Amino acid sequence: MNDDEMISVAVRLAGYEYRFACATVEREELLEAADHLDQRMREVRDRSGKPLNLEAIAVMTALNLSHELLRLQRQRAEADAVVNRQVQDLLQIVDDVLSKTEPVEV
């Protein structure tokens, strides 16, 4: 069996079984993602005060995950901007120090 070979993987989501095709090397990641999604779908179902159909559970879960992803992307962009400013500040300090030192003759 090579890494590019496609295999069939069964996963359970909100009590229903689904089969997916994936590359052999992606199997564990698919199972991990399915476990995470199943947990999140069950949380949505259990938190709802009323019975929800599978489609409603899936849409609400997708919206929650999308919201989290966008929030994390914004946080990462903000952190990257802070780090970039700090690097630029440090480079400016180094440039200032180097410009004040006398050149060394070799």
Average pLDDT for consecutive 10-residue bins of the chain (106 residues)?
85 95 96 97 92 94 98 98 97 91 73
Helix or strand holding residue 48 (H, E): none
Domain ranges of the chain: 6-100
- What is residue 101's predicted lDDT score, i.e. its pLDDT? 78
